Structure 1
């Protein structure tokens, strides 16, 4: 189908990746692209009828072998513990403010620092994951996070808090790209949508666990929030051990076998750096689009979640138990929505699934923010159903849009650069909130978080809807190394010819055939 690469490249869906080209900005190409943003929003005629047997998620899930399930679980738990650490701060913002003699607004700068520096980790560990494999960069990333969680429990002042959160930002930013590659590299096409939804909901699961353990540990022990991080370090170490016992993904092993075959047979091939340069020349516009897309998504999640516990406890005077229940309900809605919509995107398309979620989420802003009795549980359940329902499409959507040789790097970098753009969401909301003061039942001066968050999230839903409507889709793209890598190398060679330098890539049909035969034997 047409996509941004119709103005960007030539890509189709349902298992095919056509030869990519550099961006084409001719008036005819741009006009065709604009028209197809609407005509390609719905799946082709007959698509539902041909695939209705896959509406039941069980048959696609049965296609996943046992070892791949272990890889998915490792990726899921790594991403879950990333979220657990992040929300351990936002859920304990009041306690941290009291311990360090600061305001809640000051503590939100710790959240902002993490979001700002995530992109650094995305670049570093994404690069390492594409060059050296998904396994050890991911494992080392988690191990460093484990060590830092232990140290966090011993910080004594606000400056140390900010310093530790800055380093955490780098480490947390490295998790997503390699987690997505670990889960999706070898995933069958039919199961890709639901696995994407399951993986992404590690974020909601991490939030849910942070809510539960905040109530069980931080609210009941002398060490308060410090014990939260010590507990987190123990679980993180178990995830490190689990991932270290599993193998590398088949995708990466096949890529290395292909490179080894080329070396053994004196077949010239591009270096990692040359592939990176060629990738940017081909996909630069796509990458820019992905960053803008992920900025909207990150504003959507952080804008609806980071200060929600503060809204419940400060503005609506919810008790700790009642706030815990409401936040648990919200995250159950998020997990349900992410898995359901991720699976349905396999049939209705990635873009349409996200657009429907934006419309549904916008319709639920009022009961999510302004109902201050037990009915708020329904509002927050369904709003997070749509927020994380849209997010459930993200891992597979980004993977299908990314250059195959740099999937971990591009997916991680785009996600974390979006985080960078949205890094000040909590601080923005608290700053705007100061203009809408309220007086609590206890006489304390508080802010109208409900009004501020509603306006903020409403604008974000509109932004995401428009950018997704204008954007590309490459649903069910072939992620296999035998086809994807060869198509990519053809473009590297064509770029070399265009710029009149000695090409180092030889990817003739006979060589590709020989390479495929070699991989079959391997």
Structure 2
């Protein structure tokens, strides 16, 4: 273990504990990760004053007052967090403006609800492409301008284009483009919000950040409730979504670039495209297993959220026979539970560990499923939806910081965004699958009517998915306490290496010229003699 340590290496000022052995090999690492869950101490990543990292065992720190954790953030860090949270909220509002109005859109275009959910599938399918493009642009050129271009030019204007889609084919085409550019928001927003958060506050702020997604749903549901149940009112909700997205881009315009890029610019870094792609290839060669693991994890997680929420309003209106207003109110309470759960579990993950928090939340959500789909009436469904999403989004609340800690430090914009959206792409048919199976199977409602089997389909699918999350997380890695806030931009290492090589080359050439000059002088002296 390195002898020299910086003060930032210890949480709560504690001295180092027992060094943690890191095994090699995929299967050996999985077994070690599973055993770690049952050990009271936590495996923590330590960075010493020379920038070297290693792992050691530390006792879980005591729970801290969340208001003290809030106070750790400076005013500037709060502003950056707010902008990232707002952009993610607007992004979620844009997405849910469609999912909560499936019934309206089906009537407007004269299609089935399953046909309308094709737009959700296309949106999710193409988000990974946008995540790759704008995430890499964010790591290459900074977080600012890719996010501004996303929110104003692309997401906001494409929401307006959706309103003017007169045919179902135009509607699908616009939503496909919308998904392409929507995918670039998450990585840049999360990196901007969390990359400079103090280490002890990361879990809490991660939980709050992720709930921008649920908060966007609440706002979209409130907007849908406010405009009423008439078919044409879906357009008003989309106008609101466009205004929020454009507003997010305009607010981001007022703030400077992230700290790491400003410092790189001041230090004279000149990162070429070759430097960037060279370091990217090297990173992929080293971290391909981590990349694959995170894609699998995010596939489970995206199935988790979309299966349990995208068709929930339709479930309450169709299977539980509530009217549109009652179904929307129950959906709002469901997502309020998500906001609370994500914040609470994200906060607890700082002290019990990221993986333990995810595993426990996923297993508890399994136990909640009968109470989630069996109740009748608006009040009961609102309460059961609240507690179900408390644990579903509680597990999700750990994900932003967990992905940031697992990602290579120089790729905190592209890595979380790409892995998240690849998971979205693979899980893209989730709403369509639920609707298709539910519409082809029927159960008897409380009133004795034959209704579509949304409850059993959503319940069985969510059990399978939650167990998949628990197992995948239990066997996966964790980088609790990892310091990434001082990492330079992608390509900086290659740039430094090239500069060092050029400096060495120049020294060699200078030495050679000096020796050649000395040799020439000696020849002249000999000639004169």
Shorter-chain TM-score bucket reads 0.7 to 0.9
In the TM superposition, what are the counterparts of 1:74-153 in structure 2 within 5 Å? 74-143=83-152, 144-153=154-163
Partner of residue 65, structure 1: 74
| Contact 1:63–1:191, Cα closer than 8 Å, also in 2 | yes
- 2: CA distance, partners of 1:301 / 1:45: 28
CA apart distance, 1:427: 1.1
Partner of residue 477, structure 1: 482
Match of 2:376 among 367, 372, 378: 372
- Please say if 1:166 is aligned against 2:170: no
Superposition CA RMSD, Å: 3.0
Q: Secondary structure at the match of 1:276?
A: helix
Structure 1 stretches of 4+ with a deviation exceeding 4 A read 12-16, 40-43, 45-50, 439-445, 482-486
- Please say if 1:235 is aligned against 2:244: yes
Partner of residue 193, structure 1: 203
Q: Closer, same or farther in 2 for the Cα pair 1:443/1:166, shift >3 Å? A: farther
Partner of residue 263, structure 2: 254
- Please say if 1:328 is aligned against 2:328: no
Partner of residue 467, structure 2: 462
In the TM superposition, what are the counterparts of 1:221-232 in structure 2 within 5 Å? 223-232=232-241
Q: Closer, same or farther in 2 for the Cα pair 1:24/1:48, shift >3 Å? A: closer
Q: Secondary structure at the match of 2:412?
A: helix
- 2: CA distance, partners of 1:421 / 1:404: 26
CA apart distance, 1:318: 0.8
Q: Closer, same or farther in 2 for the Cα pair 1:41/1:423, shift >3 Å? A: farther
Gaps of 5+ in 1: 2-11, 17-22, 494-502, 508-522
Which is worse superposed, 59-68 or 40-49? 40-49
Partner of residue 452, structure 2: 447
Partner of residue 381, structure 1: 386
- 2: CA distance, partners of 1:426 / 1:64: 39
| Contact 1:186–1:251, Cα closer than 8 Å, also in 2 | no
- 2: CA distance, partners of 1:364 / 1:242: 40
Partner of residue 351, structure 2: 347
Q: Secondary structure at the match of 2:413?
A: helix
| Contact 2:411–2:490, Cα closer than 8 Å, also in 1 | no
**Could you report, residue by residue, the CA deviation over 1:275-320 in whole angstroms, capped at 9, with x for unpaired residues?**
1001101111000000000000000000000000011000111122
| Contact 2:183–2:421, Cα closer than 8 Å, also in 1 | yes
Q: Secondary structure at the match of 2:256?
A: coil
Q: TM-score w.r.t. structure 1 length?
A: 0.84
| Contact 2:260–2:489, Cα closer than 8 Å, also in 1 | no
Q: Closer, same or farther in 2 for the Cα pair 1:36/1:443, shift >3 Å? A: closer
**Could you report, residue by residue, the CA deviation over 1:452-506 in whole angstroms, capped at 9, with x for unpaired residues?**
00000000001000000010000120013358989x949x99xxxxxxxxx7475
The number of residue pairs the alignment matches comes to 471
Q: Closer, same or farther in 2 for the Cα pair 1:489/1:224, shift >3 Å? A: same
Q: TM-score w.r.t. structure 2 length?
A: 0.83
| Contact 2:229–2:325, Cα closer than 8 Å, also in 1 | no
* Structure ID, larger Rg: 2
CA apart distance, 1:224: 0.8
CA apart distance, 1:377: 2.1
| Contact 2:60–2:352, Cα closer than 8 Å, also in 1 | no
- 2: CA distance, partners of 1:100 / 1:312: 22
Match of 2:437 among 413, 432, 436: 432
CA apart distance, 1:376: 2.3
Q: Closer, same or farther in 2 for the Cα pair 1:287/1:376, shift >3 Å? A: same
